[in-house]
Amino acid sequence: MAAKRAKPVRHTPVRTCVGCREVLPKRALIRVVRSPEGVRVDATGKAPGRGAYLHDRRSCWEAGVRGALARALRTELTEADRQHLAAAMEALPDDGQAA
């Protein structure tokens, strides 16, 4: 009798949140990318440039803006970058309401 083949397990890419260092599937995190235009939120997850990942929690974004994000992106955050990230952070739910 022939043995049944096991269904192959699909690979799920994982990334680390630079704010809290938790490892999660890539789709569960928000990508921030360093590009020639500056540091921006990458909604598609495919923009060219060096990227870093953050939870959808304000505490992770605050920790990231304090220094972890700049280290991960290997750049200094300008005031314009900080304002852009702060605007993106305002759209996030409070930590108690995170999905």
Residue 1 in domain: no
Positive/negative CA dihedral, 46, 49, 55, 61:
negative
Could you read off the pLDDT of 8-58 as tens digits, one per residue?
A: 889 999 999 999 999 999 999 999 999 999 999 999 999 999 999 999 999
Provide the number of structural domains found in the chain: 1
Q: Count of alpha carbons within 13 Å of 4, Cβ hemisphere only?
A: 2
Residue at 2 is within a domain: no
* Domain span holding position 80: 15-94
Residue 2, pLDDT > 80, answer: no
Is 55 part of a structural domain of the chain?
yes
**Is residue 30 in a domain?**
yes
Q: What is the per-residue pLDDT for 96?
A: 58
Q: Is the pTM value of this prediction over 0.75?
A: yes
Tell me the CATH number at 37. 3.30.1230.10
